[in-house]
Structures are given as C-alpha cells and as structure tokens.
Amino acid sequence: MTAAPAALHDRALHLLQTIWGYPAFRGVQGEIVQQVAEGGNALVLMPTGGGKSLCYQLPSLLRPGTGIVVSPLIALMKDQVDTLRQNGVRAAFLNSTLLPHEAREVEDALLRGDLDLLYVAPERLLMPRTLDLLERAPVALFAIDEAHCVSQWGHDFRPEYQQLSVLAERFPELPRVALTATADERTRADIKSVLRLEDAPQFVSSFDRPNIQYRVGLKDSPKTQLLHFIREEHPGDAGIVYCLSRKSVEETAKWLQAQGIDALAYHAGLSSTERNNVQERFLNEEGVIVCATVAFGMGIDKPNVRFVAHLDLPKSMEGYYQETGRAGRDGLPSTAWMVYGLSDVVNVRRMLAQSDAPEEVKRVEASKLDALLTYCEAATCRRQVLLHYFGEELSEPCGNCDVCLNPPRVRDLTREAQMALSATIRTGNRFGAAHLTDVLLGRETDKVLAQGHHQLPTFGVGKEHDEKLWRSVLRQLVSLGYLSADDHFGLRATGKSRGILKEGQKLLLREDTLLPGLEHHHHHH
Ligand code: ADP
Ligand code: MG
C-alpha cells in the first residue's frame, strides 16, 4: 500500500550486505527484522547457529535509539561487542566485569544516544539504577536472548529472568523480541507469559540440520571406538569430543595424542590462558580436535567442525542438540556420534536420584533425561525423534541416521524383561547389573553363593541368552524407567514395572547393533 515497508526492507538488506557482508537473509530472518524494526514484538524460535543475533541487531540499527540486549552469557559479551565494533557498529556492554568508571562511561554514551547496541546482564538490568537510566535514554527495543531462562522447564532456569516482566510494565511502548533455541511447549508458554508476548507473532524456523548424520551406538571400548571413527571417517578433520569429567577429558586427549591425533584438552580447571590457547588453535588451525567438558563450545563459531562425539551422555535433548549443533555450520556433511552403555545409564539415573535439588527441579530433570534415553534407545529414525521433541514432525524417515542406515531388529523381549525384573526383586532390589546378570545366567560366583542366590527360582532362568543380551535388556529397562538405580549402583524395580510383571504389557526392545564402520572389541569385566 505504502512505500514504507519496501523502503525498510531495502535499508535492512543494505545494512546486511555492507555491515555484515551477507548477501541475503536466512529463512525467516528478514520477516523478523521487518516486524521488530516496525515496532512490533516477536517470539523467535531458531536453533543454535540459526542466526538469531541479526534478528535484534539489525532492527536496533534501523530504529532510532539503542537496542538493549539482555543476555545471561556475560563471558561472551566482550567478544560479541568487539566483533560488532570491528564492523563499525557502536556497541557496548554493561555487566559486573566493568570497573565503576567504565560502567559510567557506557551509561553516558547511552544517554547521549551514541550507542546502537548495549548488552546487559539481567541482574544489572534489573537494578533500579539501570531501569531509571533506561527511562531517560533513547531506547530502540529490548531483545531478550536465551529467553528459555525464564522457564523452570528450560534447561537453564535463571530466577532473575522471571523479573524481566518489568520490561512490559515500565516500557510498554517499546518492542520486545525474545529469542531462544528451546522450543518445547511449556517453555514457550512461560516465555510468552513472563515477557507478555501472548499476542506477539511467533517465528519458528526448522530445527532440522540435514547435513548432520546422527549416530548412537553401544559403548564397548570407547576410546578405541572413537579412534576408529576418527581414522575411518574424519581423518584430519576438526572435531569436538565431549566427556563428562575433567579427568576423562584429560585422559582422552592424552590417549588420542599418543595415537598421533592432534587433540587438545579443554575444561574449566585450566587457566584462562590455557583455555584461550586451545580456542585459538581450534579456530585458526585445520584439523584440531578438542576433548572438552560442556564448558567448551558456547559462542565458538567455527563453520567447519566436521564431527561432534559424545563419550558420555548429555543431560538432556536440549544439551545434545546444542552440542551436536556445533558440527557442520557450513552445511557440509558432518557427524554427531555418541556411544553409551549400561553403566552410563545407571550412572546418570543415580546422579539424578542423589542430587539435592528441590523436588520440582528433579522432576523436570528426570523427564528431560527420560527423553534423552528414549532417543538413545530409539528403534525409529533418530531425526524424527529429535525433531518431535522440539515440536516438529518429519513425515519420512531421514535416511541419514544410524537407525535409517542400519535398522536395528526389534524383538518382543517381554519374557526376558520379566526374568530380569524378577531377579532384581527376588534378590532384594539392591544389586547391580553385573550380579543380576550372574544370577540370570546361573553363574555360581562367590557373591552368588554368599548371598544364597543360587537357590532362587530365577537362578539360571536366562541361560539361553548370553551376557550381552542381559546387559542390553537391563540397560533398556533402566533407560525406559522400569528399573531405577540407588547410590551404590544397585537396581530397584519401579512402580512402572508392574505393567510388565502383572498386567500383560508387552515390551519390544531393540537388539543392539554396532554402527556401520565400527568394529566390535570384546571386553571381559
Ligand atoms: P544463534 O544466536 O542463533 O546461535 P548467531 O546469530 O550467532 O546464531 O549466528 C550463527 C552464524 O550464522 C554466525 O556465524 C552468523 O554470522 C551466521 N549468519 C547469520 N545470519 C546469516 C546470514 N543471513 N547469512 C550468512 N550467515 C549468517
Ligand atoms: Mg545466540
């Protein structure tokens, strides 16, 4: 109708090309920029690496005044601001790392209207002094990055984020754009209600990363499996190997180095100089592999990471998606590779049961873990399971995950599950998987004899199968919540197991397969 929208679009595109050097918007970016630049609110759901920053940076340049960016990632603010400044954007940040006189300089620049963008930590923003300052300053918009932090259902709840409702109350006339990569229904509802975005348009871009091949396999001899994977599929490629503990990070890196692989260790126990060195080498050299705890990766934007490997289970699907999402940002074929086994499953369940977090937090974490373990045990297309978790349906199996490439056989293992549950219960709900396997296989070990378990009716009922099958059945029973683990790794039948023992519920379990390109090394425990 009027020429204004087109003119706005042209200005946006011009800035995109001259300041950022990108030829075009990606997906829904252009629509979001238009919406916010025109003064509207928006809720943006876009996967990690999707390009959320532009969705508030560009409108901040298009509108008069300063765009205020709320972000919990204080450690990244300086880098983000430096990058923007290099592009000629007048950016600054306000957080606890600034000295008082530095903070005052930033505040003065804001009041003078000399800033395009100002990054603020949430606790800083919420201080009465800052809110008063913002009322006197020319503000273009509020961007709430990592908006899932408002929600207890998010994997990263920050109580101060809930107080951001103050923005809608004190600055109702200014646009608010909330951005996150966590899209499940409950989180989305919390974001909308806290940030008063009930009526705001939602911009959802697909979470699918078709160039990433998802693979999950049985952990057998993890380091050797990893080495084979690297040598056979990614020789000389850059990659990230995630481990749970600092110790296993160090060990894995050392071991890979000894095999002639250019691997480095990264974890929070290293000095910041050491960590910077690792980051620099990873970013600037070709083919460096970083073994790291989850401390590594946030804000690291290396396009040609060819694989992300997990030697330990992530905490949630969100964590898994975020970590694997660091592979293949350039769109070229990449691999998300993970191995896990019975003891990992028992261990994560046990850690959760032991944590002294409040009950409701534990319940959330338990359901997140359930979702992840269901993904691990999936006998259907992994991408379908993954995308379904993020509220998206993929109509056809993807053809680019281990399940599609090498379909596991699914068997009715109800009888075996009953045997395993009954062995667990008959031995008093306190023994670990190794002992239960001995009982099922009818092995007269010292422990079996000492406990008198050779006299139980379940002793030896599982002789027709081998140890591998029993470990697999027990693992799946723990993964799927029929067994829980105590602090001493003892297993206990849960209320859910009644369905299988008494109510004729069938249990279809997958036969463990090894991944294509992986060899099976036998280990005796
Ligand atoms: P997110 O915050 O969603 O994780 P970022 O905003 O950090 O993602 O962007 C991820 C990467 O995508 C960055 O390297 C960024 O430069 C790049 N990018 C974003 N938008 C575009 C675009 N329109 N064209 C090309 N690259 C883009
Ligand atoms: Mg971001």
Distance 252 CA to ligand 2 centre (A): 30
Q: Candidates 44, 53, 69, 300: which one to mutate for ligand 1, based on the most atoms within 8 Å of Cβ?
A: 53
Tell how strand 66-70 and strand 491-493 pair up: unpaired
On whether the CB atoms of residues 428 and 491 are closer than 8 A, the answer is: no
Phi, psi of 385, deg, nearest 5: -65, -45
In the numeric block, the tokens 């060899």 are attached to 519
Six-digit token string for 142: 């509020």
- Looking from the CA of residue 181, the nearest atom of ligand 1 is 3
On whether the CB atoms of residues 267 and 249 are closer than 8 A, the answer is: yes
Six-digit token string for 84: 């923007």
Tell how strand 117-120 and strand 66-70 pair up: parallel
Closest Cα to atom 2 of ligand 1: 52
pLDDT at 263: 98
* CA–CA gap between residue 247 and residue 245 (Å, rounded): 5
- Looking from the CA of residue 24, the nearest atom of ligand 1 is 23
Q: Which residues of the chain, if any, have pLDDT below 70?
A: 1-5, 154-155, 183, 299, 513-525
* C-alpha of 486 from chain center: 26
Which residues surround the ion ligand 2 when the cut-off is CB under 5 Å?
A: 52
* CA–CA gap between residue 329 and residue 123 (Å, rounded): 32
What confidence tens digit (pLDDT) does each residue in 284-311 have? 999 999 999 988 877 677 889 999 999 9
Residues with CB under 6 A from ligand 1: 22, 25-26, 29, 46, 48-54, 301
- Looking from the CA of residue 47, the nearest atom of ligand 1 is 3
**Residue 347 CB coordination number (10 Å):** 18
Closest Cα to atom 12 of ligand 1: 51
Using DSSP's 3-state secondary structure scheme, residue 461 falls into: coil
* CA–CA gap between residue 267 and residue 243 (Å, rounded): 10
Distance 251 CA to ligand 1 centre (A): 34
Q: In whole angstroms, how far apart are CA 21 and each of 87, 241, 284, 378?
A: 9, 32, 21, 42
Q: Candidates 18, 20, 89, 145: which one to mutate for ligand 1, based on the most atoms within 8 Å of Cβ?
A: 20
Distance 102 CA to ligand 2 centre (A): 25
* CA–CA gap between residue 124 and residue 285 (Å, rounded): 37
**One-letter amino acid identity for 404?**
C
- Looking from the CA of residue 52, the nearest atom of ligand 1 is 3
Question: Ligand nearest 330 Cα, by number?
Answer: 1
**One-letter amino acid identity for 513?**
T
* CA–CA gap between residue 194 and residue 43 (Å, rounded): 12
Rg (CA), the chain: 26
pLDDT at 516: 37
On whether the CB atoms of residues 56 and 37 are closer than 8 A, the answer is: no
Q: In whole angstroms, how far apart are CA 512 and each of 190, 313, 331, 495, 515?
A: 39, 17, 31, 26, 10
Question: Ligand nearest 147 Cα, by number?
Answer: 2
* CA–CA gap between residue 264 and residue 23 (Å, rounded): 36
Distance 118 CA to ligand 2 centre (A): 15
Distance 522 CA to ligand 2 centre (A): 43
Distance 49 CA to ligand 1 centre (A): 6
State percent of the chain over pLDDT 90.
70
DSSP string covering 71-125: -S-HHHHHHHHHHHHHTT--EEEESTTS-HHHHHHHHHHHHHT--SEEEE-HHHH
Distance 432 CA to ligand 2 centre (A): 43
* CA–CA gap between residue 281 and residue 293 (Å, rounded): 17
Q: What angle do CA 256, 261, 266 make, to 5 degrees?
A: 60
* CA–CA gap between residue 411 and residue 302 (Å, rounded): 42
Q: Which helix (H) or strand (E) holds 141?
A: strand 139-144
